[in-house]
């Protein structure tokens, strides 16, 4: 029987980082949870989350589901967390009011759309999953972004009002909303293409602007720019700039700065330029200023990994994982590194991946890494079983059934994957 390995060929193609891909990074995930969770809570929206993509123009939008999509360009330009909370509150206003559901009833679950988008792209050599930013993992979202429709003016005004209410309820000064409008206004003269997308999907009206610019009663409200969130904001900005901007431009922009975000941005830029000694000097200073910070370790491990220093990367990931043992994105980074090593470490990668399946199962790169590692360990049956799970999540039922049946030709009945395949087969095989 011919080996299945060829099936994985397109997963193995090295895929460049792409603007349309979602970015996962342990520290950034935590930052957006902290910004958004209280807003989702007061809005009465359960299971809401924020997904950041690598596009450099300014946009934030909602699709089906409870996800606010935010472009990296907007985060890099935002002066602080207060503006981001303002933008998030507005988008969550759209979600809470059901604006999206009404526009997009025809849309299928975007999570599957995004996975399908990643694979369509990968198959066409355009986009894909599996590449990495920070400790982050890229997934595709091309289909979602192209289905980005404009709201009506009435919906815009309602989202502003709701957003302002949510911000006040969580004790955040709602001035971030009007600051964002100022940002758009100041930008509109020179670099219009950066903001056109936002304006085309969130129409501006004089009413909207005057409502947002009216001063709220600030008593009892906190401007999160004056809290420790500001430091996290600058660290996240440094990572996005480091990975997404031209590295020489990054070095210029941080040229006269030596604080923690500057060291991070410069370390990433040097790494991309192949200047590993300069990178190491930055990482050393970073460690001296902020010793044993798990996110600094995570970043260093990622930089070593991308420059091919595998042993050093795995050792550093292990330190980060030890400091944050429950963090799924750091665990995925460590697994990715271990999977490149020898047999015993590949086995450790599998164990780690299985432990975090509930947290990572919405990432294509999770399933492809697991399938590839089983494949390299010579366990064809499990590699096929994992592929069946991925195909099922992508809505490709025929493929899922085919892989599940094929897997169970070689898996032993006592193998837990055998039972999982049995479930897939009995739910899909109806004649
Ligand atoms: Zn809007």
Please say whether the beta carbons of 11 and 371 come within 8 A.
Answer: yes
**Residue 38 sits in the same domain as residue 98:** yes
- What CATH number does residue 29 fall under? 3.30.2010.10
Angle at 69 between CA 65 and CA 70, to 5 degrees: 165
Residue 299 lies in a domain: yes
> 192 CA to middle of ligand 1, Å?
18
**What's the CA gap between 243 and 252, in Å, rounded?**
15
Measure 425 CA to ligand 1 centroid, in angstroms: 43
For the segment 316-350, what is each residue's pLDDT rounded down to a tens digit? 999 999 999 999 999 999 999 999 988 799 999 99
For the segment 354-378, what is each residue's pLDDT rounded down to a tens digit? 999 999 998 888 999 999 999 999 9
CB 97 within 8 A of CB 162: yes
- Mean pLDDT, residues 32-60: 93
Contact 131, 12 (CB under 8 A): no
Q: How far is the CA of 160 from the centre of ligand 1 (A)?
A: 7
CA–centroid distance, residue 129 to ligand 1 (Å): 29
Both tokens assigned to 426 = 């009995």
Take residue 73 and report the two structure tokens written for it. Answer: 């360009």
Domain identity same for 205 and 352: no
Q: What are the residues facing 71 on neighbouring strands?
A: 53
277 CA → ligand 1 middle, Å: 46
My answer on whether 408 and 271 are in the same domain is no
In a domain, 403, yes or no: yes
Ligand 1 centroid, distance to 49 Cα (angstroms): 17
Count the domains in the chain: 4
* Nearest partner of 42 among 212, 225, 164, 218, judged by Cα: 164
Q: What is the CATH number of the domain that holds 339?
A: 1.25.40
My answer on whether 311 and 269 are in the same domain is: no
Residues 57 and 177 reside in one and the same domain: yes
Expressed in angstroms and rounded, the spacing between residue 83 Cα and the centre of ligand 1 is 15
Residue 232 forms part of a structural domain: no
pLDDT tens for each residue of 271-307? 999 999 999 999 999 999 999 899 999 999 999 999 9
Domain shared by 160 and 263, yes or no: no
Same-domain status, 340 and 385: no
Mark which of 269, 287, 305 sits at the end of a domain: 287
Q: What is the DSSP letter of 174?
A: T
Q: Is residue 74 part of a domain?
A: yes
- Do 275 and 129 lie in one domain? The reply is no
Q: Do residues 71 and 58 make contact, with C-beta atoms less than 8 angstroms apart?
A: yes
Structural tokens at position 373:
């590692």
Clarify whether residues 283 and 298 are in a common domain.
Answer: no
The residues placing their C-beta within 5 Å of ligand 1, an ion, are: 151, 156, 159, 202
Domain boundary among 310, 329, 359: 359
Helix, strand, or coil here: 108?
coil
Structural domain for 394, as ranges = 379-431
pLDDT at 352: 97
Closest CA to 13 of 114, 116, 139, 124: 124
Residue 258 — φ and ψ, nearest 5°? Answer: -130, 15
Query: Could you give the 3-state DSSP secondary structure of residue 217?
Result: coil
Tokens for 317? 């990931």
For residues 276 and 296, state if they share a domain. Answer: no
What is the spatial distance between Cα 340 and Cα 310, in angstroms, rounded to a whole number?
Answer: 8
Ligand 1 centre to CA of 221 (Å) is: 24
Do both 257 and 299 map to the same domain?
no
Query: 126: CA distance to ligand 1 center in Å?
Result: 30
Same domain, 334 and 390: no
Using DSSP bridges, classify how beta strands 49-53 and 22-23 pair: parallel, antiparallel or unpaired: antiparallel
Which of 359, 394, 417 is at the close of a domain? 359
Tell how far the Cα of 191 is from the centroid of ligand 1, in angstroms: 21
Is 167 a member of any domain? yes
Q: Is residue 392 domain-resident?
A: yes
List, in order, residues 6 or more apart from 324 with CB less than 8 Å away: 26, 294, 330
To 10 degrees, what angle do helices 328-338 and 364-376 make?
30
Query: pTM (2 decimals)?
Result: 0.82
What is the DSSP track for 189-246? TT-THHHHHHHHHS---HHHHHHHHSPP--TT-B-GGGSTHHHHHHHHHHHHHHHHS-
Q: What is the pLDDT of residues 199-250, one digit of tens each?
A: 777 777 667 777 777 766 667 889 999 899 999 999 999 999 999 999 999 9
Task: Give residue 184's pLDDT band: very low, low, confident or very high (50, 70, 90).
Answer: confident
Distance 199 CA to ligand 1 centre (A): 9
């Amino acid at each position: 029987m011919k080996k299945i390995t060829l099936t994985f060929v397109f997963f193995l193609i090295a895929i460049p980082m792409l603007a349309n891909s979602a970015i996962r990074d342990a520290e950034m995930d935590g930052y957006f949870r902290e910004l958004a969770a209280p807003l989702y809570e007061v809005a009465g929206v359960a299971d809401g989350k924020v997904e950041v993509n690598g596009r450099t123009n300014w946009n934030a939008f909602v699709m089906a589901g409870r996800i606010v999509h935010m472009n990296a360009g907007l985060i890099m330009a935002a002066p602080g967390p207060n503006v981001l909370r303002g933008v998030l509150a507005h988008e969550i206003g759209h979600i809470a009011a059901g604006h999206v559901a009404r526009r997009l009833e025809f849309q299928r679950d975007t999570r599957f759309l995004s996975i399908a988008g990643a694979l369509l792209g990968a198959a066409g050599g355009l986009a894909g999953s599996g590449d990495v930013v920070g400790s982050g993992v890229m997934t595709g979202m091309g289909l979602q972004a192209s289905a980005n429709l404009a709201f009506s003016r009435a919906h815009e005004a309602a989202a502003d009002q709701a957003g302002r209410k949510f911000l006040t309820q969580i004790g955040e000064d709602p001035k971030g909303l009007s600051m964002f409008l100022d940002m758009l206004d100041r930008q509109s003269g020179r670099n219009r293409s950066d903001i056109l997308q936002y304006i085309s999907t969130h129409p501006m009206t004089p009413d909207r602007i005057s409502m947002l610019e009216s001063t709220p009663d600030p008593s009892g409200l906190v401007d999160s720019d004056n809290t420790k969130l500001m430091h996290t904001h600058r660290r996240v900005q440094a990572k996005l700039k480091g990975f997404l901007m031209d590295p020489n431009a990054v070095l210029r922009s941080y040229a006269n700065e030596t604080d923690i975000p500057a060291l991070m941005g410069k370390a990433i830029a040097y790494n991309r330029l192949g200047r590993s000694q300069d990178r190491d000097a930055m990482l050393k200073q970073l460690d001296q200023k902020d010793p044993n910070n798990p996110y600094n370790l995570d970043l260093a491990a990622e930089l070593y990994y991308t420059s091919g220093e595998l042993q050093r990367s795995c050792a550093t990931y292990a330190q980060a994982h030890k400091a944050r043992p429950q963090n799924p994105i750091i665990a995925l980074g460590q697994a990715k590194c271990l999977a490149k090593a020898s047999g015993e470490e590949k086995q450790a990668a599998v164990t780690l991946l299985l432990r975090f399946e509930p947290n990572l199962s919405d990432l294509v790169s999770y399933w492809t890494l697991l399938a590839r590692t089983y494949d390299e360990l010579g366990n064809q049956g499990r590699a096929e079983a994992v592929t069946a799970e991925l195909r099922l999540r992508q809505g490709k039922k025929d493929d899922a059934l085919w892989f599940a049946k094929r897997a169970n030709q070689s898996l032993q009945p006592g193998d837990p994957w055998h039972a999982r395949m049995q479930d897939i087969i009995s739910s899909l095989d109806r004649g």
